[in-house]
Amino acid sequence: MPHDVSPRDERAAVDLSVPDEVACALCACGGIEGLTAQIPTDEDLERLSAEHRACADTCRLKILSLLRDQPLCVCVIKYVLGIPDSKLSYHLSVLKKAGMITGEQLGNWIIYSITETGIRYLEG
């Protein structure tokens, strides 16, 4: 019993043989062109992927979870996580570049706060 297939016909307007299910869906969404139009702009793709990449690390997620309820200075975060300064500083810079946190200098200290974006991404 052969599967229904739409081979190289007008429906898909493209030289592809695909299962009927898929050919149907393709038609309904405007064919290959309609599909292509669903892809976000390069700019949006870059921003989105950079944001996800910033959250793609357990150490950075820990930092975000610590900042969720209140701003903290670097030394407290360091104390809680028990990691070297330079490592913490690196991860803070990644989070900051991606817009997940902001830092404000207060005398000798830098107080980091989570952003709306950071909260949103922390939820998962």
Partner DNA sequence: TAGCTATTTCAATACAATTTGAAATACCAT
Partner DNA sequence: ATGGTATTTCAAATTGTATTGAAATAGCTA
* Binding-site ranges for a copy of itself (CB under 8 A): 3, 14, 16, 18-19, 21-22, 25-26, 28-29, 32, 35-36, 38-40, 42, 45-46, 48-58, 61-62, 65-66, 68-73, 75-76, 79-80, 106-109, 111, 120-121, 124
Considering the rule CB under 7 A, would residue 73 count as an interface residue with DNA?
A: yes
Using CB under 7 A as the binding rule, the residues of this chain from 3 to 32 that contact DNA are: 3, 5, 16-17
For residues 60 and 107, is the Cβ–Cβ distance under 8 A?
A: no
Residues 12, 16, 21, 25, Cα dihedral to 10°: -40
Minimum distance between the CB of residue 86 and a copy of itself, rounded to whole angstroms?
19
Minimum distance between the CB of residue 53 and DNA, rounded to whole angstroms?
6
Task: At 73, list the tokens.
Answer: 């200075």
Q: Which residue has the tokens 């062109």?
A: 33
Minimum distance between the CB of residue 57 and a copy of itself, rounded to whole angstroms?
6
Q: Is the dihedral of CA 23, 28, 29, 32 positive or negative?
A: positive
61 touches, from a copy of itself, DNA, none (C-beta below 5 to 8 Å by class): a copy of itself
Task: At 61, list the tokens.
Answer: 């997620």
27 touches, from DNA, a copy of itself, none (C-beta below 5 to 8 Å by class): none
For residues 81 and 50, is the Cβ–Cβ distance under 8 A?
A: no
For residues 98 and 64, is the Cβ–Cβ distance under 8 A?
A: no
